[in-house]
Each structure stands twice: as C-alpha cells, then as structure tokens.
Structure 1
Amino acid sequence: MSSAEPAGTWQQRLRASGHRLTPQREMVLRAVEELGHATPDEVHAEVRRHSDSVNLSTVYRTLELLDDLGLIRHAHLTDRAPTYHSATGHEHAHLVCRACGRTTSIGRDEMEQALSGLAARHGFAPDYGHLTVFGTCADCRQGERGTLEP
C-alpha cells in the first residue's frame, strides 16, 4: 500500500494471521492511508466513494482487525470515535487543542526527549504512537489573554 513498505508485507501479515485478503479490507486500509487521520465514519465515506457494498459495521470490524495486526494505529483525538492512521511512515504522538480542535503531530524523537526522564524513572516504555496530549494551542491562548504567556 505505502511506498515505504515492501510490496506484499501487509497482505502477508493478514494471511499469516489466518485472515483472508478481501477487497473490502484493502479498500479500508487504502482509505486510512489516503485520509491520513480519519474516524470510522470518514473511512466509511471514503470507501463508499469506490463501492457502495461496504457497510459501516464492516468498516468498524476491519479497522479493529487492521489495528490488532499493527497495520494501522488509532488514537483518541476527541471524546468520540477513535481516529485511525497508517502505521507506516513515522511514528508520532498528537497535541490536540481543546479550544479549536487543531491537531499537531509530534515525531517520536521529540516525544522521547520530552518523556525520557519520566519513563526511565518509572521503568516505563511509552507507546508514543498512541499518545495524545490535550491542552490549548498558542493561538487560542493568545486570543484568550491578548498576549501569549508561557
């Protein structure tokens, strides 16, 4: 699917886990990769552009399977449905502004720097790709106060 992943890898992982390679699974995986970050409803809408035979429950089951196999990842960027993104490419965490909803992707190396002391102190290995930090972005903080404070 992705140019960063060797041909056949995702198909082999699916088959090795005892699952069949179906057009619906391929369409869901392709939709996640094309959309970047997407909710199940957004994935469903994208899949429906190519085939009206895929229902929402199939999309949910397929997203769960692909996530379990490590082909996609999910993060909770809102209090609603999880958001899915491709597991290929760079692993990243998310900063989400509660005021405007802006989501900023933060690379694993930057998150490791920020959390390495805390993780080491507690003997903990964070799942950076699943990490979401909620707060208020600089633009919204500046709008609230008129000036940006640290």
Structure 2
Amino acid sequence: MKTDKIELNQADRRLLFAIQRDASVSQADLAEKSGISASQVSRRLAQLKEDGVLKGIVGVLEPERAGLTCSAIIRVRLRDHAAANVKQFRDLVARMNEVTLCVMTTGETDYLMKIVARDLPHFQEIVQSKLLRCAAIAHMESSIVLEHLKDTTALPLDEA
C-alpha cells in the first residue's frame, strides 16, 4: 500500500463521503451524489483503491444482532519494548479474530484494543486462554463497554 498523501478533488471527496454512508447504492446514485458520470464512478473508485485511499468496500454488521453481545476495551502494557516482545504481541493480535481494533498509544499504555465476544463468559475465556498466556504482556486492564454512543467507520470528509 502506498503511504504518500493523495490529493483528493471535490468529486473524490463527495464520492468517498457517499460510499461511507452506503456503499450498496447504484453507480448512478453515486454519480449523482458525487457530481460525476456513472462511468467515471467505477474508474475513480478503482483509482482510489489503487492509490490506497479506499481499502475496500465491506458490510458493517450490528454485533448484538449477530450474537456478539459483549465488547471490551483493553489497555495493554508490554514487559519491555524488545523486538521479540513486540513481535510476540503483534503476532497474537493478528491471530485473534475477536480483536476488532488494536492501536499503539502514547502514555502509560502501550496498546489499546477492542475485543468483541459472544458474552461475558466468552470474553473471560479469551482473556484467560489468550491474553494472560502471552508472556510479552506485563499488565492489562479491561473495561466492559456498557453503551456505544458512537461507533463508526466513516472518516470526517467534507461532503462538498
């Protein structure tokens, strides 16, 4: 994936804004919303994907309706930042389908993770069988999510 910043024109921004809201709409609808022709929509989307701006077009699921009723935020501090510890932790995260977000942070916490589980016993099983067995982790602290006030994948692009 390319890492250089891509300059987006107004049509690109309107197109990306529209597909973030609902990517299942027709190309004609996307064309109308972005102010370009329907044939340009597919070319622009292909170019935005090639440029690395558009990672993919996916369906966004409602976790509870899909049987995943427990979410938790976990703060992780590694034993130290030796390459082997970092690799062990990153490899663990890559293998865990329950992790929906993991970011390296500044401050006392090295990583912040979001885990989604079927229920509280399933979350406990994940913690005990995976996270607590990782020798790279010195300390972890979890908070169960009680309510989602906002949970979006949409980036704050200007509509116009």
What TM bracket, shorter-length normalisation? 0.3 to 0.5
More helix by proportion, 1 or 2? 1
Q: Relative contact order (alpha carbons < 8 A, sep ≥ 6): 1 or 2 greater?
A: 2
TM-score of the two chains, using structure 2 as the length reference: 0.31
